[in-house]
Amino acid sequence: MHAEPGGPSSRLRFLASRPSGLLLPAALIAGVAALPIAVLLYSFLSPEREIWGHLAEHVMPDLVGNTLLLLACVVPLTAVIGISMGWLTAACDYPGRKFFSWALTLPMAVPPYVFAFVYLGLLDFTGPVQTTIRRVFPGSGFVDIRNVFGVAAILSLAFYPYVYLLCRSAFLTQGRTAMEAAQTLGLSTTRAFFRVCVPMARPWIAAGLTLVCMETLADFGAVSIFNYDTFTTAIYKAWFGLFSLNAASQLSAVLVAFVLAALVLEQRFRARLRFTGAERTGGAQLRLRLTGI
């Protein structure tokens, strides 16, 4: 059976072979968006050898170590907060669930440096928390929060909604079939969550954590307030301290390489995952009634 020259299939092939009218605008937008990256790469053609040599020998090792350590702290913490909050609002029933389902997204409206100012003012040596502790317990030691763990806690509180929103959507999409099937096989609710629901949500979790990585790498305000050196603070110091725009551009290019590496890892991770049941099956999610302790 052959399709007629003017039939539907031939018209579809003609439309598919025609260049889309959106191709040129899309190419222009992509070119404008890629222009800063091209400028950063161009800066390597004329490096300032003395400054770049100093940065590579004395600054880069600490920057790479600090950045990787910060990511190693922020990513697991945001994963724990985002996944747990997503599950509690999607699969559990308790007073105030609807309120918390949208209230947990509010940190997205607060810049990380505002979180840093607030918590540093509360928890620093002269803040009300440690001042009260010293009054109640004289001679108690000073807890310094100006370190990688303090920065990681602040960034995790600011960025966990990326993971929370995607995980909540994933758990709502799963419906009740996955949980009922796991319980039919004899798994408890807790084991079904870790062995069935979380693995099925891994693509969403990976996407959320990738956004968290990029936001962490790009943050300047919070790390500056905590005096924790990362690539963003080094870029600022190279430009306004060493007065070298070229060195700042080259450090920015290295930071872009970190972001691209995170995107590549996320794509490869998601490519290995093959799940069915993207649409909700078996009806709405059967929420677990929480009764408290």
Per-residue pLDDT of the chain (293 residues; tens, 9 = 90+): 454 555 555 554 554 555 567 888 888 898 888 888 887 777 777 766 777 777 778 788 898 999 999 999 999 999 999 999 999 998 888 888 899 999 999 999 999 999 999 999 998 888 898 888 888 888 777 788 899 999 999 999 999 999 999 999 999 888 677 777 887 888 888 888 888 889 889 989 999 999 999 999 999 999 999 999 999 998 888 888 777 787 888 888 888 888 888 888 888 877 776 554 445 555 555 677 776 65
Tokens of 93: 């029933």
Cβ neighbourhood burial of 140 (10 Å; 0-12, 13-18, 19+): exposed
- The predicted pLDDT at position 214 comes to 92
- The predicted pLDDT at position 106 comes to 95
Q: Cα separation of 28 and 56, whole Å?
A: 36
Q: Are residues 226 and 148 in contact, defined by beta-carbon separation less than 8 angstroms?
A: no
- The predicted pLDDT at position 278 comes to 45
Give the number of C-alpha atoms closer than 13 A to the C-alpha of residue 201, restricted to the C-beta side. 33
Mapping DSSP to helix (H, G, I), strand (E, B) and coil, where does residue 221 land?
helix
- Ramachandran angles phi, psi of 93, nearest 5°: -125, 130
- Picking from 48, 123, 87, the residue whose alpha carbon sits closest to that of residue 285 is 87
- The predicted pLDDT at position 11 comes to 54
- The predicted pLDDT at position 1 comes to 46
User: What are the DSSP E strand ranges found in the chain?
Assistant: 92-93, 288-289
Dihedral Cα 74, 76, 78, 81, nearest 10 deg: -140
Residue ranges and CATH numbers for the domains of the chain are 48-113+148-271 (1.10.3720.10)
- The predicted pLDDT at position 93 comes to 86
* Neighbouring residues of 269: CB distance < 8 A, sequence distance ≥ 6: 202, 206
